[in-house]
Structure 1
């Protein structure tokens, strides 16, 4: 499988699965939680509040892992494991682009200063559970 084919498969899995698991590091231990993800050409974005422990965790250690996929048929579903670094993105254009009315539960609209995105820049993406094949890895140069 070529890198381009693998990238297309990764993009399909990411695009088909909005909910995933974000793992950050807290006191040298993994800390995982479900999040909503958006993507732009393999860069992931997940909305959060500026005043959460996630922000404190990534300011101390920006290394994160994301799992997306594996939620419909269970054991036969392909999924991706994204390893990368994260930063805070408070771009108003991004907040407007990805605003969803369901966010009203947490934010006072897309202009809310407490509404930010974690931007995850992948370094390695592994695709697992592809038709009983061994995992495939896509390494990204930045």
Structure 2
């Protein structure tokens, strides 16, 4: 598969799957949790509270891993594995752009100072379980 085709497939998976697993580092060990992800040209954004342990973990070690795409069918689902670096993004524009009414469970609107995003800049992107093909890496 060409890099252009691979990139298109990765973007399709990211566009069609919002829920995935974010792994950060806590005490030199992986710490994983489900998160909601938004994709902007292969940069991922996930909303979170500013006062959570994942923020502390990322401030100490910004290395993260994300898995997206493995859902309904199980063993036959193609998915992506992203290794990258995370930063905290408190942009008002971003908070309004991705605001969803379901966030009212956790935040007092898009202006809530505790409402922030983790911004994940991929360093490597691999597509796995793609119709029996070996894992393929998208070159960034």
Q: What band does the TM-score fall into relative to the shorter chain? A: over 0.9
1:85-100 matches, within 5 Å, as 85-100=85-100
Structure 1 residue aligned with 2:2:
2
Measure the CA separation in 1 of the matches of 2:139 and 2:89. 23
Structure 2 residue aligned with 1:22:
22
**Structure 1: tracts of 5 or more residues without a match:** none
TM-score (normalised: structure 2): 0.99
Measure the CA separation in 1 of the matches of 2:64 and 2:139. 15
Structure 2 residue aligned with 1:66:
66
- The CA deviation at 1:28 is 0.1
Aligned residues: 140
1:75-94 matches, within 5 Å, as 75-94=75-94
- The CA deviation at 1:37 is 0.2
Measure the CA separation in 2 of the matches of 1:5 and 1:52. 38
RMSD over aligned Cα, in angstroms? Answer: 0.5
Structure 1 residue aligned with 2:108:
108
Structure 1 residue aligned with 2:50:
50
- The CA deviation at 1:109 is 0.1
TM-score (normalised: structure 1): 0.98
Measure the CA separation in 2 of the matches of 1:79 and 1:89. 26
**Structure 2: tracts of 5 or more residues without a match:** none
